[in-house]
Chains A and B, each alone.
Chain A
């Protein structure tokens, strides 16, 4: 019985609320012309914003890959695009390290070849520090040039 009474009260309350809302609706339809116009302009501006948002989203979707490859872009991109954008930098570092290693190895090989040639020659290495031998070599070179 109590429940029925509460329900009846609630429905009466809802009915009254809706009656009031109907009056408010009627009142809202009678807005002054300038207010209606300004609301229309506000709506048009919002729709203009909607178009801007659409264009921006389309552009960011189509350019997303390219931007990621160049390493730039917005912070709102995900983790993977950001990791992908690091690939060119890593490749550059790896290339520089490889060039450095190859260069060092070449120099070491050249020095080793030179040392090996000097050590395996019939002439002892001490001969190159002997002034008489240096004079002999110079005279020999001059003679070869004259011939």
Chain B
């Protein structure tokens, strides 16, 4: 069973990535915050008796399900959203880009020149935009596999699909990102 300290450290270690992951899916900061908070609550309410090593996997699954629940609620509210993979881009004025650019400039003045800082922020922004453009399942598989560092089996369990599907989704996601970023002149 996880102690309060272990739970606190775990939540602290995942909260920012969970928020960004939710933002990539729902494209709304407020909704993403709600999703992360709901996921944290569900984890402690139903799974706090589990050993600490099981928490990452459980949290990823809860986060995915809570995000899906959010989409389902949206779907009932708005008939336009009929498919998770059919979202249109909201436009060029992404809600977090300006703040991130400003914030990243502040943080990087100590170690980087203004030019490289801006360039770096631009790369972040482009990568995030391309990730948002991926189909939902590819994005989910890519983020779990490479960002959350789950292995193929864990990702498959969290997504409720086969390991083969995870490999396919990841492969397509990486290829799409590589192609899109190259087209924009971004070489990693």
A residues in contact (CB < 8 Å) with B: 13-14, 16-21, 23-33, 35-36, 38-40, 42-43, 45-47, 49-51, 53-54
Smallest Cβ-Cβ distance to B34: which chain A residue: A42
Interface of A is mostly: helix
Query: A30 and B20: CB pair below 8 A?
Result: no
A21 to B143, CA, bound (A): 8
Interface of B is mostly: helix
Query: A24 and B100: CB pair below 8 A?
Result: no
**Closest A-B pairs by Cβ, 3 of them:** A17-B146, A46-B40, A42-B37
Interface centre among A43, A49, A53 (most CB of B within 10 A): A43
Given A38-B33, A42-B40, A46-B37, also A23-B11 (CB < 8 A): no
CB distance from A133 to the nearest CB of B (A): 90
A131 to B11, CA, bound (A): 104
A14 to B99, CA, bound (A): 31
Interface centre among B16, B127, B145, B171 (most CB of A within 10 A): B16
Query: A46 and B43: CB pair below 8 A?
Result: yes
0 or 1 for each of B67-99: is its CB under 8 Å from A? (1 = yes): 000000000000000000000000000001001
